[in-house]
Amino acid sequence: MSVSPAMQRYAAEIYRLQHDHQKVSLSLLGSHVEASAQAISTMVKRLHKSGYLIHEPYRGVRLTPEGERIAMPALRRHRLTEVFLVKVMNYDWATAHELADTFEKGINEEIEERMFELAGRPTRCPHGEPIPSKEGVMPEVHDVPLLEVPSGSDCIVSRVRTHDFDKLRYIGELGLVPGTPFHLLSCAPFKGPLRLQMKPQDHVIGYELAASLWVEVTKRGEGNKLPPLTTATRKK
């Protein structure tokens, strides 16, 4: 069976979502592709019948290795489009994802290659996500969620994993874009704020915002150290 552009787009969206979900529910998929429940059900059945995904009723779907392969062209086109919109057309990175969803539908392979060259042959989208090669190979990214990093670590922002407009705008204002180095000074317990030392000024960010940041750790710290339990504190 030939692979249609619609099948590639659905596979690409499932690929993105399964990064954070072991199984992608049909309702979650529907909220991202903006299609009716009937259209989603029909496409899922088509992809399942073709061997591109595994569907467990009432639990969700996950791509097979072959399904991941057919997702690569659509992922490449989408992320290249985002880069082109930001670097060449000067759009805000907060709007790039949504604009790319519409813009990319009229792009053929020739235009895609031209965009790739004009954008400087990028390997990452504006949010730091890797761009598959023309041959369909997804580059490996070695990063971790900021929330898993101990205080005292030196980090570089690798990816900003949100498409929320307001969050992206605020993260951009703080300068926490991919490629930015910082030192994690402290992490307050119980989902408290994180203090980042960076240029031109330090920032304190909340737990929810930090959850969107993935980083490369260049020097691992020892974490927050509690003071020793003294006689005075025992009496309290």
Mean pLDDT by 10 residues, the chain (236 residues): 87 93 91 87 94 92 96 96 96 93 88 96 97 94 95 97 94 96 93 94 95 96 62 43
Segments making up each domain of the chain, as ranges: 5-68, 144-219
The number of C-alpha atoms within 13 Å of 89 and in the hemisphere containing its C-beta is 16
> Considering only CA atoms, which of 146, 148, 164 is closest in space to residue 156?
146
pLDDT of residue 193: 94
pLDDT of residue 235: 44
Q: What token pair was written down for 112?
A: 């895609």
pLDDT of residue 234: 41
Q: What is the CATH number of domain 5-68?
A: 1.10.10.10
CB neighbours of residue 135 within 10 Å: 7
Q: What is the CATH number of domain 144-219?
A: 2.30.30.90
Given this chain, do its domains 5-68 and 144-219 carry the same CATH topology?
no
